[in-house]
A and B are shown apart, each in its own frame.
Chain A
Amino acid sequence: MNSSPTLMIRLAPWLFTVALLLLWEFVCRAFNIPEFFLPTPMAVARATYEFWPAIYRNSWITLQTTLIGFGLAVGFGLFLGLAIGWSRTIYAGIYPLMIGFNAIPKVAVVPILVLWFGIGFMPAVLTAFLISFFPIVVNVATGLATIEPEMEDVLKALGASKLDIMRKVGIPRSLPYFFGSLKIAITLAFVGSVISESIASNYGIGNLMLQAQAQFQVPLIFAGLVALAVEGIVMYWVMALLEQRMTGWAQRSGFAQT
């Protein structure tokens, strides 16, 4: 049976998910856990069905918010990463600031954003942006910083300008780092937008879950979590696909393929 290992690998994600759900259902029933503490998967599914229009509408809003913030992070992160990789002075000047900035919990920034932009769309977009640009910057800069000095010498001796080296070596070299960082950044962007939605918005999954909590509709809270998980997985998968398409040359190792 030659096809069975690959078939197993393809089925594995579904099997493991189903197994987890079954275990969850079983534990809830076996220990008689009350629904307001931990609802069963069945109860969550019922809540999803019952509140589908609200979940659908708010998921869509969260997704849009996240993607706009993420898009800003990609543009800004790429720009800053290239700038940091370009000049040691810019690197020395900006890096400590960025580390400090990244250390600030973004939830603490939301009130300021609300002060500036009011509640709703803008703070959520900006929180998603602020939380997700850092890994992009660091990864792009790392790609540039790890150019082999010999490679640089070969090109410089030919009279290559810094821009030449950047175009021919630096940027292509940092692309795998960049696309790798998108997977991290998109996940973080969801964290940012949901944080902001649950603190300061009337829309989005974050807000939906907050309201469900206020009304003690625990299955609906979990339905919101599941909606976020699904969106997160889909977007992660899109980024992984993009990475594979754009920088397949960097992924030739057979490690962990079976």
Chain B
Amino acid sequence: MSGFIALDGVSHRYGGIQAGPEGILAIQDLTLSVGRGEFAAVVGPSGCGKSTLMKLVTGLQFPFAGHVMVAGEEVRQPVKIAGMAFQAPTLLPWRTTLENLLLPLEIVRPHRGEIRRNRAAYVERAEKLLASVGLDGFGSKYPWQLSGGMQQRTSLCRALIHEPQLLMLDEPFGALDAFTREELWCVIRDLHAVRGITIILVTHDLREAVFLADRVFVMSARPGRILAERKIDLPRPRDLEVTFSTEFQDIVHELRGHIVKARQ
């Protein structure tokens, strides 16, 4: 049985297919599978092709060899059922927070045809989503009037507003201070619990991966392959306190061993 997301023997070069055989291999013979509703984390040394993995799964690029399947179909175009958030919040400075949230709805079908007629309903939906991440009443603010953590929350909301089945997170908390980061871990944890959405989190923070994920994949140095796969059995819902438990520390330690090997 293949999962909701399945990569099978995937190889890819930087610069996409156009780079030709001379292009540097970003990932090689990579196989992984993520089930529907699962929270998967991908960790690895920097430059191991984690971002390439993101692009392949969302259909922004297509593999040089192998197959990428999402929701039972081979990816041949942007998948449209995914939301994405990155390390930089990439909000549009000329739009208010609320208008930034509505942006995906102006693009994605069927909403793009309805948003003009049904704006009030969509605005209500956006405001509810903002409230769910602790941003009530910030809709009318511009991005630069928000703190870094708030901008990142907005960015997460934008990735979720069209109710995607898949959420792709590329080091979304990398630029935040430690406390804000842990706060946002909890935001993501709760979103995952409530919505049952499939999430792939790319990160180099092992504690983050272990705290949030059901399974952690360790990637090798370039060209990236999956070196190890670790199921995280810590009971949910997880409290931040769990990060101080011996069990948690042991898993982090074990994963760290893999990374150290991967860097050699």
Contacts and interface: CB of A to CB of B under 8 A. Distances in A.
A154 B84 contact: yes
Contacts of A148: 88, 90
B199 to A, nearest CB: 15
Nearest to B170: A150
B104 interface: yes
B77 to A, nearest CB: 8
B196 to A, nearest CB: 21
B107 A168 contact: yes
A249 B108 contact: no
B175 interface: no
Contact of B90 (A150, A159, A168, A250): A150
A246 to B, nearest CB: 10
A10 interface: no
A159 B92 CA distance: 18
B80 interface: yes
B106 interface: yes
Contacts of A169: 92
A245 interface: no
Nearest to A165: B107
A153 B38 CA distance: 23
A160 B83 CA distance: 13
Nearest to B91: A151
Give the secondary structure class of B's interface.
loop
B59 A157 contact: yes
Nearest to B96: A249
A155 interface: yes
B244 interface: no
Contacts of B82: 157
A157 B162 contact: no
Contact of A159 (B86, B88, B94, B107): B107
Contacts of A156: 60, 78
**Of A173, A247, A249, most B-chain CB atoms within 10 Å:** A249
Contacts of B162: 158
B78 A157 contact: yes
Contacts of B80: 157-159
Contacts of A172: 92, 94
B103 interface: yes
B86 A160 contact: no
Nearest to A172: B94
A35 interface: no
Contact of A150 (B86, B107, B108, B142): B86
Nearest to B166: A157
**Of B94, B104, B142, most A-chain CB atoms within 10 Å:** B94
Given A157-B59, A158-B162, A252-B144, A164 B107 contact: yes
Nearest to A250: B93
Contacts of A249: 93-94, 142
A124 B82 CA distance: 56
Contacts of B93: 249-250
A172 B99 CA distance: 14
B55 interface: yes
B55 A153 contact: yes
B176 to A, nearest CB: 16
A169 B107 CA distance: 12
A185 B32 CA distance: 56
A160 B90 contact: no
27 contacts: A148-B88, A148-B90, A150-B90, A151-B90, A153-B60, A153-B84, A154-B84, A154-B90, A155-B103, A157-B58, A157-B82, A157-B83, A157-B84, A158-B80, A158-B104, A158-B108, A159-B80, A159-B107, A159-B108, A168-B103, A168-B107, A169-B92, A172-B92, A173-B92, A173-B94, A249-B142, A252-B144
Ranked nearest first, the 7 interchain pairs of A and B with the lowest CB-CB distance are: A157-B58, A150-B86, A159-B80, A249-B94, A158-B108, A151-B90, A160-B107
Given A150-B90, A157-B78, 4 more contacts: A156-B78, A157-B84, A247-B94, A249-B142
